[in-house]
Structure 1
Amino acid sequence: MAAPTPVIHTPHTPVRRVGVLSLVLAAVVAVIVLAFAWPSVTAAPHDLPVAVAGPDQAVDAVTDAVAEKQPDVLEFTRVDDRDAAVVAIEKREVYGAIVLGDAPEVLIASAANASVAQLLTGIAGALEGQVNAQAAAGAAAAGAPAPAHIAVTVTDVVPLASTDPRGTGLTAAMFPLVMGGMLGGIVISLAIIGAMRRVLAVVVYSAVGGLVLTGILDGWFGVLQGDFWVQWAAIALALAAIAAPITGVVALIGRAGIAVGPIVMLLFANPISGAAMPREFLPGAWGQIGQWFPPGAAANLLRDVAYFPDADASFSWLVLAGWTVGALLLSVIGHFRTAGGAEPDELATHEDDPVAAAV
């Protein structure tokens, strides 16, 4: 008679662990929702830089009227004339301009941001009513006949590409760029042993990935304008600035450093990057803080090289280069710290040993 098959009882997970894990997962979900929903829910325009030109009396009247109806929304900068206003827009010093005089005009730049362009277009309608009311009042006071209607022209100085008329393509491209850099750093950290080999992998991945993404966004979708190779350099550097910190921290502390990607780049830096909305829409100083991180610098730089070649993009270039170089230096430090340049496990520690290499 065959012996009965023993029954193996798998131990159950302790109830306390189940409760703790559930609470942790709930907290993680809450953080993710807050990170991505908070900027949109709290978004409100404030201190948007806009140029204004024209006679002093007319400028004072218009700026006072705008400030009364929409306080703290616009921050006016006086310029000499229309040409100076156009230059300021093309250099991305202002989002648009109000030009007053015999032929009042509102200048917008939909390539800078479609929401701000729409806001300024609405102001043009209010300005037209105000200008005509003042002209009618002046004529009545002088006993003159009612003047002809004065139209306020809206001119798009830097329009979006015809292939991306709403700017959604350029905005949507930023999240895959952040994800691509982050996933590249994570995969390289997991698949490649040796900090210096990871440095090489980041450089090659960024260069090739930048070429592929530029080909898609520029050559295929047409959402980017301007010089192809400048765009490639910007995208490649952005990928490196996001991927390299992950591999650099992994070289120092081991695979726990992979969390740099999801926590720093995705949950913290991406929501305040200003990619989906102008940084002036974010509360407090968060919009400015976001420009010091790779997602924000990449979003700003890509818009500059695509539509605003005259803008001073040196800050964004330096931010991306600083993150890349600093992270690669972490990899070098980690290389000398662990001999093999990887997380402190047996394989990585002895990877560069002569005996191991000979085997």
Structure 2
Amino acid sequence: MSAGPSAPSGSTAGALRHVLSHLVTPLLMCVGMGLAYLGAFHAPEPHDLRVDVVGSGASADVLAQTLQDRGDGALSVRTVADRDTAVNHLRTQQSYGAYLPGSSPELIVATASSDTSATVVQKVFTDVAAEQGAPLKVTNAEPTADGDPTGQGIFFLLVAVSIGSYASVAVIGGAGAVLALRIRAALAVGASLVVSVIGAVFAGPLFGLVDHGLGGLWAMAWLYSAGILLIGVGLHTFLKRWTTLGVMVLFVMLNFTSSGGIFRPELQPGFFGSLHAFWNGAGFVEGVRSHVYFGGHSLGGHVLVLALWFVAGLAVVGVAGAAEAKGRRAASELSRAEALAASSAGAEEEMEEAVAV
């Protein structure tokens, strides 16, 4: 009689332990997302934000030094001889604002480089012009496309392409686990092609985030997505059910926050600013900016970042393939050993029976 109630109780306890063990993953995601997003975005402050003061002579030097001292590390202020040099610095992303002092002061920015950086620079020099008793004229040397007035559309495109990529990892790694790794890798490449085409449709005909250079944007989206998918599919061999958390750490928590799509590294804490130099999301965002708005300046370096992540994906898949092959050999040898042991045991039993007779 006592066995009846105990069985469901044990079953419930086991199911509860199973659920609680799986709740660890979303809770870790919650902690990780909070630390990453709030750590990167909650209090942006400029540090070493490069700006130019246009002019020569003592007055320009004094103004530049005053701004440098007053900023206490927030700004990196230099003087340039003329307007053309200042505009060239903006269009090669060597600076994020150029101030022309005088009776009608002017600030030149390039919102295509970063709207938030341009806003910070504009606030600084609006105060400077007010101290001189003159209104500030703001000129945008490199505006964004009409479909992306905030300059953050590329970042949200990054989010869409990333979600399509790492969600596909879960499907290929989970539902496709019975397939050979070469087939899973081929599915990853195919899925990245589809995701990149969707991204290009979003960026071009659907929302008009860019008004030219769509082919180059698609190519970078494919390279970016393929890198994520190959790394994720390869990691699934080792991480199993922790793969989702692993790819979220790599391609959401550390990736979105260091991409420069919302705040450039000059407005972020040092950790995320340092990741910007080599993380794949930054390679995509800055690569698209360079390709679409800045005449390909530094494009090769950004494409190289994406290519290296793609190569890393191939390497992870290669290591996973070797590990799976080793596992299959071990399982096969174990099977043969068990079969041999069973055969030996059967032979011994037959011999014992024969002796007994």
Q: Same fold (TM over 0.5)?
A: yes
Structure 1 partner of 2:221: 235
Letter of the aligned partner of 1:305 in structure 2?
H
Matches within 5 A, 1:323-342: 323-339=309-325
Matched-pair contact (CA < 8 Å) for 1:104–1:153: yes
Describe the SS at the equivalent of 1:76: strand
User: 1:130, CA displacement in angstroms?
Assistant: 4.2
Given the superposition, is the C-alpha separation of residues 79 and 225 from structure 1 closer, same or farther in structure 2, using an over 3 Å criterion? farther
Matches within 5 A, 1:1-359: 9-11=8-10, 12-13=12-13, 24=24, 28-100=29-101, 104-131=105-132, 152-192=136-176, 193-251=179-237, 256-339=242-325
Matched-pair contact (CA < 8 Å) for 1:51–1:94: yes
Post-superposition CA distance 1:181-204 (Å, at most 9, x none):
211222222233222222222222
Matched-pair contact (CA < 8 Å) for 1:62–1:127: no
User: 1:108, CA displacement in angstroms?
Assistant: 0.5
Gaps of 5+ in 2: 333-357
User: 1:109, CA displacement in angstroms?
Assistant: 0.9
Letter of the aligned partner of 2:161 in structure 1?
L
Given the superposition, is the C-alpha separation of residues 76 and 63 from structure 1 closer, same or farther in structure 2, using an over 3 Å criterion? same
Q: TM-score, normalised by structure 2?
A: 0.79
Gaps of 5+ in 1: 1-5, 133-149, 347-359
Describe the SS at the equivalent of 1:274: coil
| Cα separation, 2, equivalents of 1:325 and 1:275 | 24
User: 1:256, CA displacement in angstroms?
Assistant: 4.6
User: 1:283, CA displacement in angstroms?
Assistant: 1.2
Q: TM-score, normalised by structure 1?
A: 0.78
| Cα separation, 2, equivalents of 1:176 and 1:345 | 41
Letter of the aligned partner of 1:78 in structure 2?
T
Structure 1 partner of 2:344: none
Matched-pair contact (CA < 8 Å) for 1:238–1:298: yes
What percentage of residue pairs aligned between the two structures are identical?
Answer: 22
Given the superposition, is the C-alpha separation of residues 129 and 36 from structure 1 closer, same or farther in structure 2, using an over 3 Å criterion? closer
User: 1:52, CA displacement in angstroms?
Assistant: 2.7
User: 1:28, CA displacement in angstroms?
Assistant: 4.8
Letter of the aligned partner of 1:77 in structure 2?
R
Given the superposition, is the C-alpha separation of residues 333 and 232 from structure 1 closer, same or farther in structure 2, using an over 3 Å criterion? same
User: Which protein shows a greater Rg?
Assistant: 2
| Cα separation, 1, equivalents of 2:80 and 2:233 | 48
Letter of the aligned partner of 1:231 in structure 2?
L
Post-superposition CA distance 1:287-321 (Å, at most 9, x none):
12233222222222222223222421222211111
Given the superposition, is the C-alpha separation of residues 341 and 333 from structure 1 closer, same or farther in structure 2, using an over 3 Å criterion? farther
Given the superposition, is the C-alpha separation of residues 49 and 86 from structure 1 closer, same or farther in structure 2, using an over 3 Å criterion? same
Letter of the aligned partner of 2:8 in structure 1?
H
| Cα separation, 1, equivalents of 2:213 and 2:45 | 34
Post-superposition CA distance 1:205-225 (Å, at most 9, x none):
222221221112111101123
Matched-pair contact (CA < 8 Å) for 1:194–1:341: no
User: 1:341, CA displacement in angstroms?
Assistant: 10
Matched-pair contact (CA < 8 Å) for 1:331–1:341: no
Describe the SS at the equivalent of 1:13: helix
Letter of the aligned partner of 1:10 in structure 2?
S
Structure 1 partner of 2:341: none
Matched-pair contact (CA < 8 Å) for 2:258–2:279: no
Letter of the aligned partner of 1:13 in structure 2?
A
Alpha carbon RMSD of aligned pairs, Å? Answer: 3.2
Letter of the aligned partner of 2:13 in structure 1?
T
User: 1:19, CA displacement in angstroms?
Assistant: 12
- Higher relative helix content: 2
